[in-house]
A and B are shown apart, each in its own frame.
Chain A
Amino acid sequence: MAEKKVMLGNEAIARGAYEAGVKVSSAYPGTPSTEISENLVKYPEVYCEWAPNEKVAMEVAVGASISGVRAMASMKHVGFNVAADPMYTASYIGANGGLVAVVADDPGMYSSQNEQDTRQICRAAQVPVLEPSDSQEAKDFMKLAFDLSEQFDTPMVLRTTTRLAHSQGVVALEDRVVPEDKVYERNIAKNVMMPGNAIKRHIFVEQRLKDMAEAANTLVVAKEGFSKDVPLNRVEMNDTKIGFITSGIPYTYVKEACPNASVLKLGMVHPLPKKLIEEFASKVDTLYIFEELEPVIEEQVRAWGIDCIGKEAFTVQGEYSANMIRKVVLKENLSINTPAEVPARPPLLCPGCPHRSVYTVLNKLKIHAAGDIGCYTLGAVAPLSVVDTTICMGASISSLHGMEMAKGKEYIKNWVAVIGDSTFMHTGVNSLMNMVYNQGTGTVIILDNSTTGMTGHQDHAATGKTLQGKVVPAINIYHLCKSMGIEHVTEVNAFDIKELEKVIKEEVARDAVSVIITKSPCALLKEVHFPNKCVPVPEKCKKCGMCLKPGCPALTKNEDGTISIDATMCNGCGLCKNLCPFDAIEEVAK
């Protein structure tokens, strides 16, 4: 019997790619997709890398596929927007070696700035989509995706959601089988997408989707441990009073709430198997379409004139549940105690976070920040209240430039753009080029904590280490900015609040683009060790509250107005000590 292991959805996807013989993988980290690359890199047979952004990652995978090997890129849903440009045209080129993009949606927005549905982009790009329901299927579907890619000459998308990516389940392991590399032959009609060629390939793409829709009625997944192959789109005929068409994680909610209902479980959610759906719909009395986010399946089913219940009963927002079915479909009166009204506990910057130090200075100077994507988005909320805008990766610098072009340079004298080092390398660098080229005068603060922090410490081109752990020359952000012709680039220690205040005042007043690189590694990095910790000296305390302004979670106010510092949380960054005007906090050895 095959070895069985409990695996995270993302770990199972990596395993599936490994077993399928993937040779090249490129990705940019993004919750909830990051652990795919972090697990794939454990297989030395696979070349894995972090790319600066998802567009680059996708193009690396397309190139590898054209050369004849199995290749993949993985990303979160908003990263797929960045990768959309190559994907829309890769759809025309198709695949030589199997080509798969793994895209992770985030219903409920646990860690994202929007709730978009990847299936809609895939429909627009005419790329087929598989959607697994658990870790075992995540592995099986990943392998099938590579097979289908080669069989139908198409890139494939494996769509997951946060719940699948970050749930663990039992997975049966199989061996890696590497197919022979496909031969590369120069073929400009297929690989050079200029109009004359692309017009012909578009016809191919339309036919390919029709062929796949037809095949979807009967496609099978080869599954280890089963006596025969399992249909990809599976009909589970039971009681016919209620029927569900569903896929992915929502399928598990259906099985939980209505184990006796009839179910059409879709493994491929684009293109849809029309015959199978029509046949299933004709056999059940009431048909529910149970899909998280947008009515992608529902609208197509309705367009075929099939009566069903979908978004009028189930929300387009957030995650679904079995209780939702119990209430809406089964009309059960669930006896659930009323939730208590409790204070929210939002995420916050960690004790010792260098961003807190920079934001404390910006807050003091009453400066607004055009923000970006990373832990430092948390500077939007009280008590720091510095970040005014968050849009997407790289948008801090370009949106600040837009404000200046709209309202003039005086308008942004109390504004800066804040962006992390990894986000700067992702797309911020383009925005900075634009600011320089078009004669802006904005001040850009690059919060350089030497890592991709929010997603759990991934390296990037400016950290000097690859995904595979190899030490390589780091791209120097200072010189990169200088090379664009920016005269005023200043590096400051993020915790030197006096120097930081001086530099920020000077640079925002300046009528030229300037960059301030605040350097201090993320407090959670293993190599970060402050030798001391901070302790209050109550007899010197004047209860002014200065130390509490940065909102460090290690500090709490006592009833008498003095403060306590939690010794297990304090990492000794010294910010509170430096803010205290009365020396009422001192540093002692840990």
Chain B
Amino acid sequence: MTETKNIMIVGVGGQGTLLTSRILGGIILTAGYDVKLSEVHGMAQRGGSVVTFVRYGEKVAEPIVEEGQADVLIAFERLEALRYAHFLKPGGALVINDQRIDPITVVTGAAQYPENIIEDLSKTYKVYSIDAAAEALKLGNSRVFNNIVLGVAAQHMDFSKEDWLDVIAKTVPPKTIEINQKAFLVGYEM
């Protein structure tokens, strides 16, 4: 691999995007690449729009993914997918968890939540959407939706299934390894 690979994870503060970036960081290190991750802490975490950048390759310089540069954009919420879609490079994969969380601007009536986000984004981008909450419920644990989404995104990266399952086992709490691996496979084999 000569080109640096750019991944973005976006969502709403509190959705648990940090776990996803930890698993991602883990598999990249296992593969022996140079890696840089960048995330936002502090005030913006409180229910605000959050972004994590992950870059890996032979030698990584900057820690952020810039507009027009992302190979994979993982969005844990529809509106956040729309907000950051322009960060994708031509041909990049847009993985969307089909969930709606109203920002306070919508709740107070100051703004409207856009309709048909996934349909509209599909006109410009390669969109892979999934209702991960519903799929997670089928597995009996609504909290593992993150790993279902990650499973879908993993189809667009070059790590083996075995390596993913291995890293998940090393990252999540021991009691939840099996359910998290199952969740990952739901997305990976979709």
Contact = CB atoms under 8 A, between A and B. Distances in A.
Interface of A: 6, 31-32, 34-35, 110-111, 134, 162-163, 166-170, 249, 252-253, 255-256, 259, 321-323, 334-340, 342-350, 375, 378, 381-383, 454-456, 548, 551, 553, 555-557, 568
A343 to B, nearest CB: 4
A349 B46 contact: yes
A34 B113 CA distance: 35
A114 to B, nearest CB: 14
A334 B69 CA distance: 10
A6 B67 CA distance: 25
Contacts of A347: 13, 43-48
Given A168-B38, A252-B61, A322-B66, A340 B47 contact: no
Nearest to B60: A169
Nearest to A377: B43
A338 B158 CA distance: 29
Nearest to B54: A168
Nearest to A323: B66
Given A347-B13, A382-B110, A454-B42, A249 B86 contact: no
A375 B13 CA distance: 14
Interface in B22-37: 25, 29, 34-37
Contact of B46 (A32, A350, A555): A350
Contacts of B115: none
Contacts of B106: 343
Interface string B74-112: 000001101101101010000000000011111110111
Interface of B: 12-14, 25, 29, 34-49, 60-64, 66-68, 79-80, 82-83, 85-86, 88, 90, 102-108, 110-114, 124, 142
Given A252-B63, A337-B124, A375-B46, A169 B41 contact: no
Contact of B68 (A170, A259, A337, A455): A337
Contacts of A166: 38-41
Given A166-B38, A168-B25, A382-B110, A350 B47 contact: yes
A386 B34 CA distance: 48
Contacts of A35: 41
A111 B64 contact: no
Given A111-B42, A169-B35, 9 more contacts: A163-B64, A166-B40, A168-B36, A255-B62, A322-B62, A322-B66, A344-B103, A347-B45, A553-B107
Contacts of A259: 61
Given A134-B36, A343-B106, A335 B68 contact: yes
B83 A111 contact: no
A456 B41 contact: yes
A334 B107 CA distance: 36
A343 B66 contact: no
Main secondary structure of the interface of B (DSSP, over half): mixed
Contacts of B34: 170
Contacts, number: 161
Contacts of A323: 66-68
A553 B41 CA distance: 20
A350 B48 CA distance: 10
Contacts of A557: 107
A403 B132 CA distance: 53
Given A343-B79, A454-B42, A253 B62 contact: yes
Q: Would you list the 8 A-B pairs with minimal beta carbon distance, nearest first?
A: A31-B42, A111-B42, A343-B111, A347-B48, A345-B103, A167-B63, A347-B46, A336-B68
A526 to B, nearest CB: 15
Nearest to B106: A343
Nearest to B46: A347
A252, A338, A340 pick with most chain B CB within 10 angstroms:
A340
Nearest to B4: A256
B68 A345 contact: no
A342 B79 contact: yes
A343 B14 CA distance: 19
Contacts of B112: 343
B44 A110 contact: yes
A49 to B, nearest CB: 22
A344 B111 contact: yes
Given A252-B63, A323-B66, A345 B86 contact: no
Contacts of A551: 104, 107-108
Contacts of A6: 25, 29, 35, 37
B35 A345 contact: no
B103 A163 contact: no
Contacts of B86: 336-340
B156 to A, nearest CB: 19
B42 A110 contact: yes
Nearest to A324: B66
22 contacts: A31-B41, A110-B42, A110-B43, A134-B63, A163-B64, A167-B37, A167-B39, A169-B63, A170-B34, A252-B63, A255-B61, A323-B66, A340-B85, A343-B105, A343-B106, A343-B110, A345-B47, A345-B105, A347-B44, A348-B47, A350-B14, A553-B47
Contacts of B25: 6, 168
A31 to B, nearest CB: 3
A163 B38 contact: yes
Given A111-B43, A347-B44, A321 B66 contact: yes
Nearest to A76: B42
A23 B47 CA distance: 38
A111 B29 CA distance: 30
B63 A249 contact: yes
A340 B83 contact: yes
Given A110-B44, A348-B48, A342 B82 contact: yes
A252 B62 contact: yes
A250 to B, nearest CB: 9
Contact of A321 (B39, B64, B85): B64
A6 B34 CA distance: 10
Given A170-B35, A336-B67, A345 B49 contact: yes
A162 B41 CA distance: 9
A262 B109 CA distance: 53
Contacts of B35: 6, 168-170
B113 to A, nearest CB: 7
Contacts of B111: 343-344
A167 B104 contact: no
A557 to B, nearest CB: 7
A77 B108 CA distance: 34
A163 B110 CA distance: 32
A219 B40 CA distance: 34
Given A336-B67, A551-B108, A348 B46 contact: yes
